[in-house]
Every structure is written in C-alpha cells, then in structure tokens.
Amino acid sequence: MAQFGRDLDTACIRIISSEIVDKHTEYLIEVTVGTYTWTVKHRYSDFYELHEKVETNPGPSNLNDSSYPCSICSHECTWDSDAIVCDNCDKWCHIGCVNISPSMYEKFGNSSALWICPICDTPNHSRTIFQSYLSSGIICQEVYKSKNVELIAAQINITDTKSLVIISAYRPPNKNDIDYLKQMIIEINELKLKFKNSTFWLGGDFNLPDIKWPEQNISGSMYTKELNEAFIDMLNNLGIEQMVDFPTRKDNILDLFCTNQPALITKIKSIPGISDHDIVLVDAICKPQRSKQSQHKIYLWKKVDIKKIKDITSHFISELISQANENLNIDQLWNKFKEGSNKIIDDNVPSKITKSKYTNPWANRDIDHLCKKTT
C-alpha cells in the first residue's frame, strides 16, 4: 500500500492498486477521515492531477566522483535509491522524499509524462529519444527520421551559433553486409551537407569493436576490413572527430560520439547504464535558445502560518466527519474533501505568479549585480 498525497491532520488518502480499464487507469482508493475509512474505485485520481506526473530518471552512479545529494533529505542519490532530477534547477530528490511510490515511479517511467519539480516548481518534459535535452523550454525539432536504417536527427537552436544538429544512429551487430553501413553513411553525408554551417554531433552504438580509438587502427577480425574502413573514411571526409576513448561494453568501444567542434566538448566520460552498455556522458559549451515559459501560480510554503492552518484543518475535518454520518455517497464526500483542502491552501498559503522569462533559480539580485560588475 502506497501513501500518495499529504496528510491533513487526521485525514489521508491512499492508492491501494490500479488497473487499465477501457484505456483508462482505474484506481482503488482508500480515504480515511478521522476514524472513518472508505474504499472506492475512481478513474484518474484527482490527487494525481494535483501532484502532476513523474518521469523516471535513473539515479546517478555512486561509482564516479560526482555528488548528487537529495534536495529534501541531503542524503546521496545513487543507483540503489530511485530519484528524479529537474532539468531546470538540476536538483535531485529521492522519490520517497516527494511522496512518489515505487509502483508509480515505475509505471510512468516509460510515459511521455510531465512532472513538477518540488524545488523550483518548473514543469519537466520527456517526449522523444533525445530525452537529455528536450525540456519544455528549449526550442528544438526533429529534422530527419530514416526509413532505411536506424537513424534519427534533431536540431536545437543555439544563441551564439546557427544550430546544433544531433544524430542518433544504431548499427545492429547482425548487419554484417557493407550495404547497410553505406546507406547509413549516405544519409549522414546528406544531413551534414544540408546543415553544413551547424555544430554537428553524431552518436550511437555502431558495433565496431575492431577499430582502436583514437589511433583509428583496425586490429580485430569480427567484421570485414572494408566495413571498418568505410566508417573511418566517413569521419575523415566529413571532418568530424570520434572522441570516446574508453570501453563502453566489456573491453570494447562500441558507443561512439563524433563532432566537428571538439573544442566545445569540456568533458566526456562513462557512467553505468541501465543495460550491458555504459552511458557516454558529454558536457559541452553551448547555450540553447529557450521559449518563454507560461505564467503559473506557485505557493510560498516558507511563509505559511502552520498553526493557523492546523486549526482550520482540524475544524474542517470535524465538519467533514459530521457530514459522513449523513446520506452522502463516497463521491460527494470526496468532492467535499478535495474542495475543502484546496480552499484551505488557497486562503492561507501565500502565492505568486511566476515570470514568463526564463531565469536560473539560483540567480538572485546579488548574483546578477556581481555578474554586471566590471573588473
């Protein structure tokens, strides 16, 4: 049984189970008010709507030298503790610290869901293969999807250059014939020619363990020499550099990252992946253009009078318990519970409307003043 939502004094709501019925999620919900408990089936939980949805983010590795403390409890987020990260403020939170049950975390891991960061209250999106950069405010678009090979490309608008073109490709290990790789090379060449003034990134699993990087020597015999040389020739002809020099699966370098602007790459390393391949982590110097955020209301919980809210909530619960003895069905009690809870929050928690302009949550007036100072 997983608790979902915040306890209001002696009132709480729990989601016991869920199932898909007629393409809708039907929840078995337990509502407790004081000493009274009801169990009801409900399609699409209203509390779920209040909390929004959560997208799975694999926790960071505890094997590297980076530190990812939870913003709620300050303990480290590792692979052994499920956590989420905000694309805006880059803060991690354990799912238990933000009242997200493991079943919900897993259920929405493969969805195109939206979740609200509990730290900066910013919406986070994850909708396509390029999950690392497609947050809601970044201006980007898919520009190509191959019908012949496993290859897809996206374009991101950059403020100080025309654009960044990212190509993700995969060459299956059973595609031993040169024709498949030649077709992939043709399509990559066409994209490079079409976006010739753009910063160019090419990444993916090409399954070419015979090539020794960065020397570009062919020392193995798993695939033909012609196939390996065709890939090396493509890099040289396009003027792009392959930068991965560490194993990504066992002792082999299979996952590659190539770019025509290697000077913009500040760090490239491996971190544990969710399969038998390591993840290639790339940090680069680039600043994407962002669209204006829509204004929305956020509550200022730090300015709340807790004692006042407790008193009001206690009175509200007493009234709700007395109404439970009347001829009200569970839906009517639920609506009163929800409306009363929302009214308590709206009446007693200060709020503000966020700016439409994108800002860093850590950039306050003092920091802005220091940035503008001339040396």
Give pLDDT tens digits for 23-79: 455 666 666 655 556 665 554 433 333 333 333 344 443 334 456 788 888 888 776
- Whether 164 shows a pLDDT value over 70: the answer reads yes
Q: Which two tokens stand for residue 188?
A: 């990559």
* Residue where one domain finishes, among candidates 66, 100, 125: 125
> What pLDDT was estimated at residue 52?
36
Q: Which two tokens stand for residue 242?
A: 């392959």
The stretch 86-104 carries a mean pLDDT of 74
118: CATH: 3.30.40.10
Whether 97 and 154 share a structural domain: no
Q: Which two tokens stand for residue 266?
A: 């500040």
> What pLDDT was estimated at residue 69?
83
Whether 217 contacts 273, CB under 8 Å: no
Comparison of pLDDT for 45 and 332, the residue scoring more = 332
> What pLDDT was estimated at residue 76?
81
> What pLDDT was estimated at residue 279?
87
Q: CB 316: neighbour CB atoms within 10 A?
A: 20
Whether 84 and 171 share a structural domain: no
Q: Rounded to whole angstroms, how far apart are CA atoms 282 and 204?
A: 13
Whether 145 and 280 share a structural domain: yes
Check residue 30 and report its DSSP letter: E
Q: Rounded to whole angstroms, how far apart are CA atoms 285 and 256?
A: 19
Whether 238 and 121 share a structural domain: no
Residue 63 lies in a domain: yes
* Residue where one domain finishes, among candidates 248, 263, 284: 284
Give pLDDT tens digits for 295-324: 778 888 888 888 998 999 999 988 888 877
Whether 56 and 144 share a structural domain: no
Whether 230 and 268 share a structural domain: yes
Whether 115 and 203 share a structural domain: no
Whether 19 and 95 share a structural domain: yes
Q: Which two tokens stand for residue 192?
A: 């490079």
Residue 65 lies in a domain: yes
CA distances from 352 to 88, 112, 295, 296 (A): 19, 28, 10, 8
> What pLDDT was estimated at residue 40?
57
Residue 299 lies in a domain: no
* Residue where one domain finishes, among candidates 125, 153, 177: 125
Whether 173 and 119 share a structural domain: no
CA distances from 26 to 18, 32, 41, 42, 56 (A): 6, 19, 7, 6, 21
Whether 201 contacts 229, CB under 8 Å: no
Q: Is the dihedral of CA 104, 110, 115, 120 positive or negative?
A: positive
Residue 367 lies in a domain: no
Range name among 56-65, 86-95, 170-179 with the lowest pLDDT average? 56-65
Which residues are within 8 A (CB) of 49 and not within 5 positions of it... i.e. 6 or more apart? none
Check residue 264 and report its DSSP letter: G
Whether 153 contacts 194, CB under 8 Å: no
DSSP run (H or E) holding 283: strand 279-284
Kindly indicate the confidence band of residue 205, based on its pLDDT and cuts at 50, 70 and 90: very high
Residue 296 lies in a domain: no
Whether 274 and 150 share a structural domain: yes
DSSP run (H or E) holding 270: strand 265-271
Q: Is the dihedral of CA 95, 97, 101, 104 positive or negative?
A: negative
Residue 108 lies in a domain: yes
> What pLDDT was estimated at residue 55?
35
Whether 261 and 200 share a structural domain: yes
> What pLDDT was estimated at residue 54?
35
> What pLDDT was estimated at residue 64?
41
Number of domains present in the structure of the chain: 2
Give percent above pLDDT 90 in the chain.
31
Of 310, 308, 336, 312, nearest to 33 by C-alpha is: 336
145: CATH: 3.60.10.10
Give pLDDT tens digits for 100-150: 777 666 655 544 455 667 777 665 544 333 344 455 567 778 899 999 999
Cis peptide before 209 (omega within 30 of 0): no
> What pLDDT was estimated at residue 225?
92
User: What average pLDDT does the chain have?
Assistant: 76
Q: Provide the domain limits for residue 120.
A: 2-125
> What pLDDT was estimated at residue 36?
56
Tell me the DSSP string of 31-54.
Answer: EEETTEEEEEEEES-HHHHHHB--
Whether 71 and 156 share a structural domain: no
The stretch 174-189 carries a mean pLDDT of 94
Whether 290 contacts 159, CB under 8 Å: no
> What pLDDT was estimated at residue 273?
74
- Whether 87 shows a pLDDT value over 80: the answer reads no
Residue 344 lies in a domain: no
Sheet of 199-205: strand order equals 140-145, 150-157, 163-170, 199-205, 255-259, 241-242
> What pLDDT was estimated at residue 364?
72
Residue 322 lies in a domain: no
Q: Rounded to whole angstroms, how far apart are CA atoms 224 and 322?
A: 80
